Structure 1
């Protein structure tokens, strides 16, 4: 999957109100809310002109490159770094303009996610199941990483309760949290069926991408509730075709039913509790989502999809090369 670019992030970027520019001998320093960013360049005049354009906003990224040819090769990188530091906002929103209801935003976000996945990523794990080339060890590794996410889920969801707002939203989140409790026991059974010790899995260290997915969800639950509510469907949406191929693969390769049955069972429990619609249920209680909030959530969504693709690659690269699966336990 290709990396997110400046064009994915903004139509017409602009510095946030309060960003201050200080000239020095080697370049410019940008100050914002007690943090600073120094940019060094040989062409200080060109850099100052570019920064002035970002202060005004309402200029597309292609136009910024035409307007500042000396910096054109560096503009994407500068915009991505400025955005990472929280210095930029959007000044010219593409269609749809204006605010959206939470329900309308949910449906557009689902389409955006589907289009993003279809255009930029292909599941190596699913393809390996379909053509029966997936190493057995990679499938067990997938189960280990899946176990980690399921075990951590209640702790990642809980911080959102502090920002739940209306009683109906509180009840929705409380019910969702309660429905996730103790599901890791089901996945322990799956791992036991393929001779993985489970008495020490509290020390399991996830792959970096798995940890990143969990950490980002926990941060959104605490610090950006809209992103948390909006991204839950990515983690909860059912994948019937994946689980059909998983069961067929295991039958054909004589992997015990005790391995794949709990995984499929856990997915069916998600269906029973309508987890796929948890984002819709939560967003339906939001009257209006501003254009800037829409863009922020879309950026977080794209990052989550990229991380999920990276997670599959790490599972295949790490576990797929093992003859005997060794959980990442270093205690």
Structure 2
């Protein structure tokens, strides 16, 4: 049996660690681990195999030649290492070099700009530009924004439990405090269109609103680097979108008390330089491996797509006159 990927020169990923015992070796990678047992006489070749996989640039044939006594076991071992996400192709590692946090920040700016240049404007932006957005859809935008601001402190909390530099901890702590009670601004906005606090307590978010909140919470708990980058997406405000939002609210006779708190919330983020939080946090990171760069880019691309899907769900759900507004289910 062969690995599902046709490895030419398999290589252990960074942060794969070994702990040798008398007749076995414990191999760990993040939360993944496996135990490899061997006969005492095979210990030298097992160690040789693992060292070659750490070095890379060695073909499967060369691995077999270097470790003839365990050659038949090598394909099965590679299958297990692949299942646990421990190996990659040597060439994949060479193509991307490790970076400092600030270097990666600059790379992320190019990455996100390239990504955004190849997608259409959010549907809400398009409908506001055309003047076809409805009053209910604008209210829906505020309702779904309420969920994010209301849950934000709980989503951020796990990030404060991680082992970080003192300055990183200070940055996260200050950011956490600055986000407290922002939901009260959105509450006052919604109160101006007749949505009461008791209704907010019963309200359910749209699936994609729940999904992006969950993603942020998972990153805060399980992958701090993705969390630090994700904050950038949540703290960016598009001045054109906000200006259009205000104009459409006025055109549809929504009261000033509705749109002003939403604009004020955006101004708080801007004046507090919240969009700089990712740059400041990454400046504290001395080393980001090629694999971690790829993992972050994948996570952020998925999160960006989720935000786009959420935009469409807001338009679809709140644009249907038969749907419950707000989404309150007993």
Checking the alignment, whether the CA contact within 8 Å between 1:140 and 1:325 is kept in structure 2 is no
Q: 1: CA distance between counterparts of 2:205 and 2:163?
A: 29
Partner residue, 2:63: none
Partner residue, 1:238: 237
Partner residue, 1:106: 105
Partner residue, 1:160: 159
Indicate yes or no: 2:216 matched with 1:214: no
Partner residue, 2:45: none
Checking the alignment, whether the CA contact within 8 Å between 2:156 and 2:176 is kept in structure 1 is yes
Residue 83 of structure 1, CA deviation: 9.7
Q: 1: CA distance between counterparts of 2:115 and 2:290?
A: 19
Partner residue, 2:75: none
Partner residue, 1:38: none
Partner residue, 1:4: none
SS state at 2:140 partner: helix
Indicate yes or no: 2:231 matched with 1:228: no
Residue 209 of structure 1, CA deviation: 0.6
CA deviation digits over 1:199-250, x for unaligned, max 9?
Answer: 2312321111111101111011011000001111000012111101111111
Q: Structure 2 vs 1, CA of residues 145 and 88 (structure 1 numbering), >3 Å: closer, same or farther?
A: farther
Q: Structure 2 vs 1, CA of residues 313 and 83 (structure 1 numbering), >3 Å: closer, same or farther?
A: farther
1:85-100 equivalence runs, <5 A: 86=85, 89=88, 91-93=90-92, 97-100=96-99
TM-score under structure 2 normalisation? 0.73
Between stretches 220-229 and 313-322, larger displacement belongs to 313-322
Partner residue, 1:178: 177
Indicate yes or no: 2:310 matched with 1:311: yes
Partner residue, 1:279: 278
Q: Structure 2 vs 1, CA of residues 133 and 85 (structure 1 numbering), >3 Å: closer, same or farther?
A: farther
Partner residue, 1:330: 329
Q: 2: CA distance between counterparts of 1:13 and 1:209?
A: 40
Residue 154 of structure 1, CA deviation: 0.5
Partner residue, 2:197: 198
Checking the alignment, whether the CA contact within 8 Å between 1:183 and 1:266 is kept in structure 2 is yes
Q: Structure 2 vs 1, CA of residues 122 and 83 (structure 1 numbering), >3 Å: closer, same or farther?
A: farther
Q: 5+ residue gaps in structure 2?
A: 1-7, 17-31, 35-55, 58-80
Checking the alignment, whether the CA contact within 8 Å between 2:317 and 2:323 is kept in structure 1 is no
Q: 2: CA distance between counterparts of 1:169 and 1:313?
A: 35
Q: 2: CA distance between counterparts of 1:228 and 1:267?
A: 21
Residue 302 of structure 1, CA deviation: 0.6
- Across the two proteins, how many residue pairs are aligned to each other? 262
1:145-156 equivalence runs, <5 A: 145-156=144-155
TM-score under structure 1 normalisation? 0.73
Between stretches 290-299 and 90-99, larger displacement belongs to 90-99
SS state at 2:118 partner: helix
Checking the alignment, whether the CA contact within 8 Å between 2:231 and 2:277 is kept in structure 1 is yes
Q: Structure 2 vs 1, CA of residues 16 and 314 (structure 1 numbering), >3 Å: closer, same or farther?
A: farther
